[in-house]
Structure 1
Amino acid sequence: MYGLLLENLADYIKSKYGEDKWEEVRRQAGVEQPSFSTHQVYPDCHIPRLAQAAYEVLDVTEQEFFDQMGVHFVGYVSQYGYDRVLSVLGRHMRDFLNGLDNLHEYLKFSYPRMRAPSFICENETRQGLTLHYRSKRRGFVYYAMGQIREVARHFYNKEMRIELVREELLLETVHVTFQLTFDNRAFTLASLTMTREEKHLPISASVLFEIFPFCIVFSSDMIVRSIGNSLMVILPDLVGKKLTNWFDLVRPLIPFKFQTILNRTNNIFELVTVEPVLTERQSAKRSNMLVLSDEIETDFDEKKLRLKGQMIYMDNWRMMMYLGTPVMPDLRALITTGLYINDLSMHDFSRDLMLAGTQQSVELKLALDQEQQKSKKLEESMRKLDDEMKRTDELLYQMIPKQVADRLRTGENPIDTCQMFDSVSILFSDVVTFTEICSRITPMEVVSMLNAMYSIFDTLTERNRVYKVETIGDAYMVVSGLPIKNGDSHAGEIASMSLNLLDAVKHHRIAHRPHETLKLRIGIHSGPVVAGVVGLTMPRYCLFGDTVNTASRMESTGEPLRIHISPACKAALDTLGGYVIEKRGLVSMKGKGEVMTYWLVGATVGAVQCREVI
């Protein structure tokens, strides 16, 4: 699958939903490339994976997503000049639909490995027609519907209704039948026959076969009756043989039968020999230069003769004439199939295109190689940039909650992030005799000790789904109930966090003083707060209100290796149930007077509160 389709998908999501949604879809789909090269081939699994992720992230259905992506494609390819090709493909909408296979043949020059679908029109009336769509790829039905409808609207100013009549899988090929309803008055004009007297100009068969050196004339039983001069040289035994035994029909995707071909004469037909062509060069090896050319490794299919052209029913003969020309991308293909320049038609540009293409191929290949190298470097730079952005996000989310940071990214004023929370629980912890410990060790040892302790605390913070507000020296502050409100569970989450902290410090040893253990003092209070981002140079997510002060007082009036909780916190835990609480008594607090407080002693397994990350 070429990157053009993937780039269209990415551009559609970016233009309609924003860059952030595209990044989310890409990450969820597991696609590492941030962008795609239009002429590079990518795995076929990319589109289904990206589409599946888009259904969930964008909350859209398969039909809506692919239909709108098809509509977007028509405008997207205009930046590459393909809008001009689409605008001249047919005078009327019916002509465009009949020439869709021709469009894909043209695109094969730019995308040689393209596995193009096949489109066949039938049952045409003034009100529309039946369109048969065949493709080796699955999942692009609605994509094609969106493209066709948008072409009708954009280039032909027609409103079209497309009905999916039937969809089936035949021999690994998706066969879909559409009923297209639109103003098709052009069909009536095309059906009018003009009578005029013409003088019959006789022409001999020898002249005809010289003008069309690769033509094939075959009867209704598919027996070859005559062939062109050049084809006679490389396939001298073809006449009198059954065409289907010598050639396979590659396009369109229809049965290789006379009547079927007769009904599809408005399509381009591509034939390829069943067996590789045995050339004079291979049998005689008459030139060292040609022998060397033949010794170049070639794929099995490259040695086969490939013809592309038109089927015309000759009524006087009661036979079908195939006016084909060889598909030759370069001189190498010409050599491989045993053809020469003079074998090609003189009346068209076959010879000129072959020689001019060979002259430019070296320069184009060099330019392509250079562009691919630049593209690889750009992709590597974008991958590194993506990694750095992830690291930046991780650092940002440590300072500011993700939900708040995402609001700031959209340009929202920091003041507008301030929000009132009716009920949260705040935990303060402090290392007892921290100053004394610091006086007995070096500054670097102090830093090492705090780093080891806070690494453990941060792990517990993530496990209990609480938010770390800040650390100042040995003081550690966490909160539950914001920025995501969680009902009455905030007290339980903080209580579980505090019990985990005590259990962790009891088993933690100071690296430079292994015989000593840290003694932690913890205080918890529940109540209302105001939270938001403050500061410009160093923005921080801060909490304000009496609840913060009370929680700090609960910590400072507590005891080592004990969890001191307020009456409000006790009431919240009693509501949740499962926590073991002991009464401490009245405690004098600055600015509060005498306050009845409690000790949190433990909890049952069922009382542990946690939630999934949102």
Structure 2
Amino acid sequence: MYGLLIVGVQHFIETTYGSECWNRVVERAGLGAAVTYQTQKVYSETIIERILEALSEEIGETVDELSYQSGLYFAAFTTHSGYEKLLRVQGRDFIHFLQNLDNLHEHLRFSYPKIRPPSFFVKSNSSARIELVYSSKRLGYVHYVRGQLVNLAKQFFDLDIHVRLLGQEREGLVNHVTYEITHEGKSWGSLEADYEEQGLPEWGNTVRADEFFTLFSFYLVLTRDLQLKKVSQSFRNLDPEIEGANLSDKFLIARPYISVTFDAVSSFWGLEQFICNSKLSVLERFIRRALMLSNTADSVVGRSTLLSLHSESL
């Protein structure tokens, strides 16, 4: 893992219990009292676990509670470490924010190329309840993530949420954790309450399929049995035999962590897609104009460029 996570835990302990407590904890954990962690250096996956266990022994609190408190603190820590603007443009409300977390983690590869990001999937949502699935190859972060969610909801959407663990299961190397998120308000919040959303103009029913598909450089048309019924010329240039093949024979779904079934894949299709590339080059302009990254096409010169430019400035 990258040192950014460890530094966040260090700041949590030093802020809450004092620097002397931190020195005792790392010594108790066998890490050395004079150890210094760098945010962009990769360290052992066991360090945070060892630190929290040592802290638990030091102050007499459970590891689960300390993990939750550390998650609460880390969400606030990242916003004060240059990531506030990046987080602020992830979604207009809390549901969209959760749906964009995977994009956020993927684009952090610009700064952290060896990152092993988790995956978040909004399984269902209503005006008062969200069912969220958190998937990761790491174990022991169930309550840590719970704390992060509570803090982010409060900080960016002024929501007082309750996050309850519904269950978890292991599938191969991946651990799937399901949370129930509820709140007592009337909506899931908005960063710009006075923003009036305007839809795209009506196209009518006059666009022919052959014209429509020319708008996309890369596309796949799937049948229910996951046959690649129609693919773009760009894909055919890469593999002349791709059309007519099964999706599983030609592709691996790296993210999100889902089974390769039609129902699982189609559950991610309820997303807005805009056929455009943003001319805005800095996140400050997004914030001023009440725009979200979900309002841009997820293309190389769209979201990736915006986030790359922001990452270079951190």
Q: Distance in 1 between matches of 2:152 and 2:226?
A: 38
Q: Distance in 2 between matches of 1:48 and 1:266?
A: 37
Shift of 1:311: 9.2
Note the 1:565-584 alignment, pairs <5 A. none
- Corresponding residue of 1:185: 187
- Corresponding residue of 1:143: 144
- Corresponding residue of 2:235: 231
* C-alpha contact (below 8 Å) 2:159/2:188 kept by paired residues: no
Indicate whether 1:199 and 2:199 are aligned. no
Q: Distance in 2 between matches of 1:214 and 1:264?
A: 17
Deviations 1:36-68 (A, max 9, x none): 111111111111111111110122111211111
1:349 to 282, 285, 301: 301
- Corresponding residue of 1:254: 258
- Corresponding residue of 2:16: 16
What amino acid is aligned across from residue 349 of structure 1 in structure 2? Answer: V
What amino acid is aligned across from residue 81 of structure 1 in structure 2? Answer: G
Indicate whether 1:5 and 2:9 are aligned. no
Q: Distance in 2 between matches of 1:107 and 1:51?
A: 26
Distance 1:311 1:235, change over 3 A: farther
Structure 1 residue ranges without an equivalent (≥5): 188-193, 268-309, 313-322, 324-344, 358-363, 365-614
Deviations 1:309-362 (A, max 9, x none): x999xxxxxxxxxx9xxxxxxxxxxxxxxxxxxxxx9x9627x96xx99xxxxx
Q: Distance in 2 between matches of 1:180 and 1:78?
A: 22
Q: Which protein has greater RCO, CA pairs closer than 8 Å, 6+ apart? A: 2
- Corresponding residue of 1:283: none
Q: Distance in 2 between matches of 1:124 and 1:203?
A: 34
Partner secondary structure for residue 170 of structure 2: strand
Partner secondary structure for residue 239 of structure 1: coil
Q: Distance in 2 between matches of 1:158 and 1:24?
A: 36
Deviations 1:217-245 (A, max 9, x none): 22111111121122111111101110111
* C-alpha contact (below 8 Å) 2:157/2:188 kept by paired residues: no
What amino acid is aligned across from residue 13 of structure 2 in structure 1? Answer: I
Indicate whether 1:65 and 2:66 are aligned. yes
* C-alpha contact (below 8 Å) 1:130/1:177 kept by paired residues: yes
- Corresponding residue of 2:89: 88
Indicate whether 1:130 and 2:131 are aligned. yes
What amino acid is aligned across from residue 47 of structure 1 in structure 2? Answer: I
Q: TM-score with structure 1 length normalisation?
A: 0.42
1:211 to 197, 212, 215: 215
Shift of 1:162: 0.9
Partner secondary structure for residue 89 of structure 1: coil
Note the 1:179-578 alignment, pairs <5 A. 179-182=180-183, 183=185, 185=187, 198-205=203-210, 207-266=211-270, 349=301
Shift of 1:29: 0.9
Q: Distance in 2 between matches of 1:111 and 1:201?
A: 46
* C-alpha contact (below 8 Å) 1:265/1:311 kept by paired residues: no
Partner secondary structure for residue 108 of structure 1: helix
Shift of 1:106: 2.0
What amino acid is aligned across from residue 29 of structure 1 in structure 2? Answer: A
* C-alpha contact (below 8 Å) 2:2/2:42 kept by paired residues: yes
Partner secondary structure for residue 16 of structure 2: helix
Distance 1:348 1:69, change over 3 A: closer
Q: Distance in 2 between matches of 1:227 and 1:78?
A: 41
What amino acid is aligned across from residue 249 of structure 2 in structure 1? Answer: N
Distance 1:87 1:125, change over 3 A: same
* C-alpha contact (below 8 Å) 2:146/2:163 kept by paired residues: yes
Number of residue pairs aligned between Structure 1 and Structure 2: 274
* C-alpha contact (below 8 Å) 1:12/1:72 kept by paired residues: yes
Distance 1:239 1:85, change over 3 A: same
Shift of 1:203: 4.1
Deviations 1:499-558 (A, max 9, x none): xxxxxxxxxxxxxxxxxxxxxxxxxxxxxxxxxxxxxxxxxxxxxxxxxxxxxxxxxxxx
Partner secondary structure for residue 211 of structure 1: coil
Shift of 1:185: 2.6
Q: Distance in 2 between matches of 1:349 and 1:197?
A: 26
* C-alpha contact (below 8 Å) 1:167/1:174 kept by paired residues: yes
What amino acid is aligned across from residue 235 of structure 1 in structure 2? Answer: D
- Corresponding residue of 1:166: 167
Q: Distance in 2 between matches of 1:116 and 1:70?
A: 16
Partner secondary structure for residue 238 of structure 1: coil
Q: Report the structure, 1 or 2, having the larger strand content.
A: 1
Shift of 1:197: 6.4
Partner secondary structure for residue 252 of structure 2: strand
Partner secondary structure for residue 254 of structure 2: strand
Distance 1:69 1:119, change over 3 A: same
* C-alpha contact (below 8 Å) 1:29/1:53 kept by paired residues: yes
Q: Distance in 2 between matches of 1:4 and 1:266?
A: 33
- Corresponding residue of 2:26: 26
- Corresponding residue of 2:116: 115
Q: CA RMSD in A?
A: 2.9
Distance 1:253 1:348, change over 3 A: closer
* C-alpha contact (below 8 Å) 2:165/2:177 kept by paired residues: yes
Q: Distance in 1 between matches of 2:120 and 2:143?
A: 15
Q: Distance in 1 between matches of 2:49 and 2:28?
A: 12
Q: Distance in 2 between matches of 1:14 and 1:266?
A: 44
Percent identity of paired positions between Structure 1 and Structure 2: 29
Deviations 1:65-91 (A, max 9, x none): 111111111221123321112222111
Distance 1:216 1:19, change over 3 A: same
* C-alpha contact (below 8 Å) 1:125/1:184 kept by paired residues: no
Partner secondary structure for residue 91 of structure 2: coil
Q: Distance in 2 between matches of 1:92 and 1:218?
A: 31
* C-alpha contact (below 8 Å) 1:210/1:229 kept by paired residues: no
